[in-house]
A and B are shown apart, each in its own frame.
Chain A
Amino acid sequence: MKISNLFTSSGEWARNDGPHHQIVISSRVRLARNLRGRPFPGWAKKVDRLAILEEIKPEVQGLSELGDCYSEYLQDLSALEKQVLVERHLISREHAAKGVGSAVIVNKRQTLSIMINEEDHLRMQVIRSGLQLKNAFRLVDRVDSGLEARVDYAFHPELGYLTACPTNVGTGMRASAMIHLPALVLSEQINPVIQAVNKIGLAVRGLYGEGTEAMGNLFQISNQTTLGEKEEEIITRLNKVIEQIIGHEQNAREMLLQKKPGMVLDHIGRGYGILCHAYSMSSKEALNLLSFLKLGVDLGHFPEECQRAIDELFILTQPAHLQRASQQKLAPEERDALRAEIIRDKLKEFPKPDSSKAAPQEEPPKEDNHDE
């Protein structure tokens, strides 16, 4: 199937109905694998890369876990289409820069994506809504086991799976969760939290991974190390830390409501006001304001049905999604105008924030056993 068919529907993870969905947007687990005795993509010559691609691609497409899937060579995708895939977290920014000799394969539910010849020969990723790291790992592990029977992996008895970058060697696994922490940001507790998380060997990054800014109070937490620990141990450790952060965020929300209710109301109200009436809006401003609207839903100032519209806007207002919707390349000012229009339109049906309907907070986190 052509990947252009994928763009008409949003991914399953974006439905935001997984466990702890109020705070955890999505969970991702990716594995890096390489073929034995073949040069890594960054060092391989074009002929080698093409040969590796043609060797791997049919094997990947034959995987039962994939089912119906979209598959595309990178050179056949426009810059805009690649960017849409990046905004949906289906390919990395690095992969979007690739052309001849690379490919991407995505399942129909958009939960599983496989990049061929990114930094490694194979990067397989599962993305799920809410906090579902264990489920995500289980699926990507199955895919990996299916594939290892078909291709010969580069594996070292001591170092484990060999990767182009030594930072991924061992399990080749990077697990991460995207979390929404408006109250920790508002109460200025976010920096100590980030420092504490860094200290225990986990990384905190912005919306699109390494080197990106944290916008819309969204943060990505992931494991930093890949060697010397079992996959399950890494996942469990990460899961525990994320549950603690969820707890901190919930506490911060309660504290804010008790001590500075006016400030919370002001942020939600202003967010709503500006989003409803602006005629030009950058994607950064949109994300930051939508974050307060999302907080408003979590706190019960908007009916729960509004959640869906906000989640859609988080994705639809990203630059590439906007341009795809308008079917043309837009200058930044045109984009900002269109973004404001789409938001105004969507929020027409939205009731005004009503703090009298404020709902009690989500239950404190329990173990992540909400399995399939």
Chain B
Amino acid sequence: MVCDVCKSNPATVFLTQIVEGKMQKVNLCETCSNEKGVSDPTGFALADLLLGIGAAEELEKGAVVQRCPACGFSQTDFKKTGRLGCSVCYDTFAEGLSSLIKAMHKGTTHVGKIPARLMRTLELSARSKQLQRDLEQAVSDENYEQAAQLRDQLRELESQT
């Protein structure tokens, strides 16, 4: 049996690894096994050996690496640093973060200070949504006088924002 890597020397090291239920076998000669660091089984993956370094990680994650559309940050980066890339990451990785945040904090919803400017925006957007609903209702009720009033109120609100 010859070595799978150099294809010339006789294989003396036989490796079997089971990844996600699939068995992989590699046969190596002594020189190649030393080169690939096979003597240290912890830092070693067959997929890396056969497909190049980093392959195992890519395979493990599948084809999709989720990246933040705003800053290009990925979940792997988060695992490495424990910090996020930008404020949009909180939405991008919301699913994975929610359990983490739940475990870290007293609650899951902010109840403290809100920037004054945003408070106004948040209020205005809530009011505008309400007016929109009332307007639709008035139109469907054929109450055009009220609908006209609501439309004017909405316009005024929009001019404020």
A residues 147-185 near B (Cβ < 8 Å) are 148-149, 153-162, 164-167, 169-171, 173
Question: Apart from A159-B110, A230-B113, what are 6 other A-B pairs with CB-CB below 8 Å?
Answer: A39-B85, A40-B83, A42-B81, A165-B82, A227-B105, A228-B110
A39 touches B71 (CB 8 A): yes
Q: Which residue of B lies closest to A42 (CB)?
A: B83
Q: Which of B81, B82, B90, B110 contacts A171 (CB 8 A)?
A: B110
A residues 31-67 near B (Cβ < 8 Å) are 34, 36-40, 42-43
- Residues of B that sit less than 8 Å from A by CB: 70-71, 73, 77, 81-88, 90, 97, 100-101, 104-118, 122
Cα distance A149–B120 when bound, in Å? Answer: 12
Q: Contacts A141-B113, A158-B109, A171-B112 hold; do A43 and B83 have CB atoms under 8 A apart? A: yes
A-B pairs, top 4 by smallest CB distance, nearest first, are A228-B107, A160-B110, A154-B87, A227-B105
Residues of A within 8 A of B105 (CB): 169-170, 225-228
Residues of A within 8 A of B88 (CB): 37
A residues 172-211 near B (Cβ < 8 Å) are 173, 201
Say whether chain A's binding surface is mostly helix, strand, loop, or mixed.
loop
CB B124 to nearest CB in A, in angstroms, measures: 13
A157 touches B107 (CB 8 A): no
A165 touches B87 (CB 8 A): no
B101 touches A169 (CB 8 A): yes
- Provide 7 A-B residue pairs closer than 8 Å at the C-beta atoms, listed in order of the A residue: A37-B88, A40-B87, A141-B113, A157-B110, A161-B113, A228-B110, A230-B112
Number of A-B residue pairs with CB-CB distance less than 8 Å in the complex they form: 114
Report if A231 contacts B (CB, 8 A): yes
Q: Which residue of B lies closest to A145 (CB)?
A: B116
Report if A119 contacts B (CB, 8 A): yes
CB A222 to nearest CB in B, in angstroms, measures: 14
Residues of B within 8 A of A171 (CB): 110, 112-113
CB A69 to nearest CB in B, in angstroms, measures: 23
Cα distance A231–B104 when bound, in Å? Answer: 17
A40 touches B84 (CB 8 A): yes
Report if A229 contacts B (CB, 8 A): yes
B116 touches A149 (CB 8 A): yes
Residues of B within 8 A of A153 (CB): 115, 118
